[in-house]
Amino acid sequence: MMSPHRKFLFVTLVFFLIYPYVDLQAQRVKKVKFSRHAGAKEINSPLPSDYTDRTFIRGLAGYRNQIDQLVGHVLLIKKEKGKNKKPVILGRYVRKNSPPKMEAIISDKALYSSKIDGSCEFNGHYMIASVNASIESVYELTITDIAMAIIPDSLIPYTEICEAFQNADQADSEVNLYYVKSAKLTTVYTKDYVRIQSATEVSGGDIFGLKGEIYNSSDNYAVNYVVSADIVSLNDMLLLQNCDKKIEEKKIRLAAAEAAKEAAIAAKELQKAKELELKTTKSELAELSKELSKLKKQLEAQSKESKEYQTLALKQALAIDRMKETIQNQAQIEQDIEVAKKERNAAEKVVVLNNEIKKQTNLGVLDLGPMQEGKTKVISSSEELEKKIVKEENAEKE
């Protein structure tokens, strides 16, 4: 047999489970979803430690679309009355050639899914997007990681961090420096359920009963984004590094790089000087080539003129030779004429002499003695005549 108290509880439970459907059908209103299994076990479920162990810092929501840009930053966080104030970003320290990248987290399973009311210990906390349930409302939460970015230890530029923060004053316990090693982007889907007096008030949406109360929501799910980070104390991180050694090694590297740079600059300047010298030499050679070409043309012109002069001189010499030959020929001719003239004159004189001899012969005596004497006179006269002719010729020459 069931006790009267148990019978009352059973009837009440059946009423709340069945009445909404009967009443809504009778009034012909929109059918709603009724969760009959919403009980104390589904309310205020604890968040997983993987989520609560993260660092949630207000003021970083601006990085929700670029959480990879958050990783590598140094944050200054000051506490005030036991609570962290909004962080101050001091600078980012990552390797330029190996920056962290944002990667999508692909998972079909939500990190957390439950309903919370005003008594939940993390109600209104930033880790659930500041969702704040009251005594009159219940929120349904679904939390899912969607992206992350991380920088491996091997890619952290410890030397640069040492240079920047080795001498940072950490005496104030209320002021701390942190390095962001990784970051995650999380979506928080929420739906607000409001407590109602009776299921008859419902005109649509979802409805469920909890602790003897009825809750209804006609809203769609709202989405908010939460940025969480994995931060490490900068002081603790630098204690594991030999900052003095790293800084000294960097100085040596920079000195070597500077020396190499100067050597490269000197080599470049030397190369420029050689190129300039080569350019100057080429220019001088070009000018010299022009001068040589000009001189060659002049020599060719002079040679041409010289050849013309030689040809002209040769022609003149030939003309002179011909003239000499002509003069010589003419002199010979004149000489021959003179000789011929002399011969003719001599012949004429001989003829005259012969005629004279004949004449004297015809006029001479017949006896031999006188003839012989006359002949002697004629010969003597002929010799005198010849001498006279030679004398006249000599006189003409003179």
Q: Using CA of residue 166, residue 172, residue 173, residue 175, what is the dihedral sign?
A: negative
What pLDDT, in 10s, does the model give residues 84-137?
788 888 889 998 888 888 888 877 788 999 999 888 999 989 889 889 888 888
Question: Of 85 and 14, which is predicted with more confidence?
Answer: 85
Q: Across all residues in the chain, what is the average pLDDT?
A: 78
Q: Is pLDDT at 264 greater than 90 in this prediction?
A: yes
**pLDDT given at position 73:** 92
Element spanning 387, H or E: helix 368-397
**pLDDT given at position 46:** 92
Greatest mean pLDDT range, 161-165, 169-173, 341-345: 161-165
What pLDDT, in 10s, does the model give residues 338-397?
787 777 777 777 788 778 777 777 765 444 454 455 545 545 655 666 676 667 667 766
Q: How far apart are CA 166 and CA 176, in angstroms?
A: 14
Over residues 34-44, the mean pLDDT reads: 52
Q: Count Cα neighbours of 280 within 13 Å in the Cβ-side half-sphere.
A: 6
**pLDDT given at position 10:** 44
Q: Is pLDDT at 36 greater than 80 in this prediction?
A: no
Q: Is pLDDT at 14 greater than 50 in this prediction?
A: no
CB under 8 Å to 99, separation ≥6 — which residues? 68, 72
Other C-beta atoms closer than 10 Å to the C-beta of 146 total 14
Question: Of 6 and 110, which is predicted with more confidence?
Answer: 110
CA distances from 319 to 132, 295, 311, 324, 333 (A): 136, 35, 12, 8, 20
Q: Is pLDDT at 176 greater than 80 in this prediction?
A: yes
**pLDDT given at position 202:** 65
